[in-house]
Structure 1
Amino acid sequence: MAPVTEHQSSFLGRLSRRNQVVSMDVNHEQELEELEDFQKHVAERFAELLPQPSPSPPSDSPETHPVLSIQWLKKLLDVFMSCESEFHSVLTSNPSQISKPPLDKLVPEMLDRIVKALDICTAVVNGVDSVRQIQRLAEIAVTALKQTPLSDGSVRRAKRALGSLLAALNADKNSGGGSGRRSTSEQWSSFGRRSGGSGGGGGCVSKNWSAAKQIQAMTANLVAPRGGEASPIYIMSSVMVMVMWTLVAAVPCQTSNGLLVHLPLPKHQIWASAAVSISERIGEEMKKKETRCGGLMEEMQRMERLGLKLMEFSEGFRFNGEEDVKAEVVEMEEICRKMEEGLEGLQRRVREVFHRLVKSRSEILEVTDH
């Protein structure tokens, strides 16, 4: 075989360098394609959560669930897990996307957010328990007010239950942080501890822990990468913060007073469009409240409105005689039924999110280690 000449050597060198450049271009194109697919997936899934404009839907159409209702919150968590699964696919198919500068700096921040999200999941599961106690009070009032004929004794029972119900619904408002609500919320469950934890964040939280401060800490350094480019880590971090913020707004948690009204989501990026619309709508609901606190769950808000009407009836029962509140009693009973059917499923979804986040954190650490 003839020896390699200098000309041949320089030609092979140029060919090798060209192949490297082509390979880099192919990898970059693949990254861009995966990022575009991920953004599209997030945009489409969150668009499913937007209220559908249908003033008079046909009677045979499926029930539409209002924003912040129990069923809507369950769907929100399904959307989150779908986005997280897609994020995992991007992560495993091309780990270099998160390991090279400047994205490598976002990884520790995301891992820290996950730990905070685990605490929030724990708080929300216990917050749902406090909603269940409120539901029991509503059921007592409904049973008492359904008695026929209605007696003074039945009305007094209803009044006591309604008084406790309204006090629980407004605990944060009345005590500047909610000692009444906190006593329930501090009975933290142990589902997080049984999961094996995540290097912190599972199990109990301290008495000084605050859901609102936790959300503030999660958003503190949530800024888009330079140049306005999206990255899988930034998108997933934003999605996680938005979902946790929504849960804290909807469910009474330990010290949710002072919750942020606006989230730093990039309106100009297509993946965030629907998420921004949803967060703005929830922000408007928060502004209607005297204080920014948890408990915006749609069923809880309706329960408060009905509770006030039934309390007014109970207080004036002897004077007003048989004022008709049957419609309000029926509606309150219907809300209790929805809570009975939906709250356990909501807790189960939050637990699933908790365990998914524990797993996701382990996977990110594994990818960065390698």
Structure 2
Amino acid sequence: MPATEFQGGNLNQFSRSVFSLKRHHLVNPVMDGAAAADLDGFQSHVSDFFQHLSSPSQDLLSLSWLRDLLDGFLFIHHQFKLLLLSTPKSHLSRPAVDRLLSDYFDRSVKGLDVCNAIRDGIEHMRQWHKLLEIVLCALDRDRTLGEGQFRRAKKALIDLAIAMLDDKDGGANSNTTVAHRNRSFGRSSTTTPAKDYRSVGHFRSLSWSVSRSWSAARQLQAIGSNLYAPRPNEIAATNGLATAVFTVNSVLLFVMWALVAAIPCQDRGLQVHFTIPRTFGWAAPLLSLHERIMEESKRRDRRNACALLKEIHEIEKCSRVISELADSVQFPLSEDKEGEVRQRVQELSELCEGLKEGLDPLERQVREVFHGIVRSRTEGMDSLGKSNE
């Protein structure tokens, strides 16, 4: 099924499309029939989610794949909430369940910083997009291409390379460098010191919102710390709910890990280990995705990238080709050389259009995840009879 059918954040449409496969109920003898069906249905939803993400038709680590990833997370997060609402309060008040849910809410709150860092990364990509638009404007198909147009395009490409290099290094003030270099594209080239300060301040506001010492790698390790499948006695003590909590924790960890892998963020690190028994129906596709993403990170042409998003790789390739082309041209342009330039600019135009259409919806979904986690924790802590922190 085409990935475009799942875009837009519509959970009902997503659930009908992705999670309509045949269910196989594995009834736990310690539970009544209704509770067993609810828990098994939840496991089936998660299995279908990872099967969809890992299918050959999916464009791994693309903007469309990330949107499917977040759509599925929001759906599973919602299903888990419904599962808790359908669980008798007498079960939720058991010490073993109370401890598990408190641990889950603590883990989920750690995802809030990741969401903030990912939104920062998306904003940085918007700045790259603006630099690419300068290249498009300079080499516009309706213009006669001369030395001035190529100089302007090359300057924007240099600024882009600097910005992407700074983001790879986790530089919090990468965009201030671009601000200094890019003032010639403003309305006035004779900027006063006061205006310079405001311009730099604007770019600085787009740097990382998390503290300088914050680390995406350490945050992921904290989310995954001591995350193990429940033992039989824990399953019995929680009337089966321990398996659902382990599952939703694993989904949370994978989604945050995949976002950090794909989008530039501070102190990225992908060394997260998933310990999941193969008895879980969703273990095989999740572990397969983890392996494929790790293999992608080890490719020679991706090893030094600021992130693994497919569109970022395309930005690097496209900008490098145009930069090399701009360095090799001689004036006046031959017809063949101009045709090659026009072709590369058309490819860049299509890439820019994809970024323009994909970044805003992705940011909205990240915001939905952030607020969903906050609401879930507030409601969950209230249901457990604990005061909000």
Task: Return the TM-score normalized by structure 1.
Answer: 0.77
| Inter-partner Cα distance in structure 1 for 2:265 and 2:277 | 27
Compared CA separation, residues 280 and 314, structure 1 to 2 (3 A) = same
Equivalent residue, structure 1, for 2:212: 207
Displacement of 1:185: 9.7
278-287 vs 263-272, which moves further? 263-272
Displacement of 1:97: 5.3
Matched residue SS, 2:292: helix
State whether structure 2 residue 327 is matched by structure 1 residue 327: no
- Runs of 5+ unmatched residues, structure 2: 1-27, 177-201, 236-241
34-43 vs 106-115, which moves further? 106-115
The residue identity in structure 2 corresponding to 1:47 is Q
Compared CA separation, residues 41 and 163, structure 1 to 2 (3 A) = same
Which residue of 77, 99, 105 maps to 1:105? 99
Which residue of 38, 62, 67 maps to 1:34? 38
Which residue of 74, 82, 85 maps to 2:75? 82
Q: Deviations over 1:221-279 (max 9, x none)?
A: 211112496611111111111111111111111222x3326544444410333322222
Displacement of 1:151: 0.8
**Is the 8 Å Cα contact of residues 134 and 165 (structure 1) preserved in structure 2?**
yes
**Is the 8 Å Cα contact of residues 69 and 297 (structure 1) preserved in structure 2?**
yes
Equivalent residue, structure 1, for 2:247: 235
The residue identity in structure 2 corresponding to 1:149 is T
Compared CA separation, residues 273 and 340, structure 1 to 2 (3 A) = same
**Is the 8 Å Cα contact of residues 185 and 253 (structure 1) preserved in structure 2?**
no
Equivalent residue, structure 2, for 1:18: none
| Inter-partner Cα distance in structure 2 for 1:306 and 1:334 | 11
**Is the 8 Å Cα contact of residues 261 and 286 (structure 1) preserved in structure 2?**
no
Which residue of 103, 106, 122 maps to 1:128? 122
Task: Return the TM-score normalized by structure 2.
Answer: 0.73
The residue identity in structure 1 corresponding to 2:283 is A
Equivalent residue, structure 2, for 1:290: 303
Which of structure 1's runs of 4+ aligned residues deviate more than 6 A? 182-186
Displacement of 1:205: 2.9
Equivalent residue, structure 1, for 2:283: 272
| Inter-partner Cα distance in structure 1 for 2:253 and 2:294 | 14
| Inter-partner Cα distance in structure 2 for 1:261 and 1:312 | 38
| Inter-partner Cα distance in structure 1 for 2:285 and 2:118 | 24
State whether structure 2 residue 205 is matched by structure 1 residue 187: yes
Equivalent residue, structure 2, for 1:220: 225
**Is the 8 Å Cα contact of residues 262 and 283 (structure 1) preserved in structure 2?**
no
Matched residue SS, 1:270: coil
Equivalent residue, structure 2, for 1:195: none
| Inter-partner Cα distance in structure 2 for 1:33 and 1:233 | 16
Larger Rg: 1
Compared CA separation, residues 329 and 132, structure 1 to 2 (3 A) = same
Displacement of 1:25: 6.8
Q: Deviations over 1:299-357 (max 9, x none)?
A: 11111111111111112223895431333221111111111112111111111111111
State whether structure 2 residue 62 is matched by structure 1 residue 49: no
Displacement of 1:136: 0.8
| Inter-partner Cα distance in structure 1 for 2:48 and 2:171 | 38
The residue identity in structure 2 corresponding to 1:318 is Q
| Inter-partner Cα distance in structure 1 for 2:332 and 2:216 | 44
Compared CA separation, residues 99 and 301, structure 1 to 2 (3 A) = farther
Compared CA separation, residues 100 and 280, structure 1 to 2 (3 A) = farther
107-116 vs 342-351, which moves further? 107-116
**Is the 8 Å Cα contact of residues 118 and 260 (structure 2) preserved in structure 1?**
yes
State whether structure 2 residue 157 is matched by structure 1 residue 162: yes
What is the RMSD computed on CA atoms of the aligned residues?
Answer: 2.9
Equivalent residue, structure 2, for 1:281: 292
| Inter-partner Cα distance in structure 1 for 2:163 and 2:253 | 27
| Inter-partner Cα distance in structure 2 for 1:273 and 1:119 | 28
Compared CA separation, residues 182 and 237, structure 1 to 2 (3 A) = farther
- Runs of 5+ unmatched residues, structure 1: 1-23, 54-64, 190-202
Equivalent residue, structure 1, for 2:24: none
Matched residue SS, 1:269: coil
**Is the 8 Å Cα contact of residues 166 and 308 (structure 1) preserved in structure 2?**
no
| Inter-partner Cα distance in structure 2 for 1:166 and 1:204 | 22
Compared CA separation, residues 166 and 262, structure 1 to 2 (3 A) = farther
The residue identity in structure 2 corresponding to 1:79 is G
Q: Deviations over 1:75-97 (max 9, x none)?
A: 21111011011101111111555
| Inter-partner Cα distance in structure 1 for 2:204 and 2:103 | 28
**Is the 8 Å Cα contact of residues 123 and 206 (structure 2) preserved in structure 1?**
no
Compared CA separation, residues 48 and 28, structure 1 to 2 (3 A) = same
Compared CA separation, residues 186 and 272, structure 1 to 2 (3 A) = farther
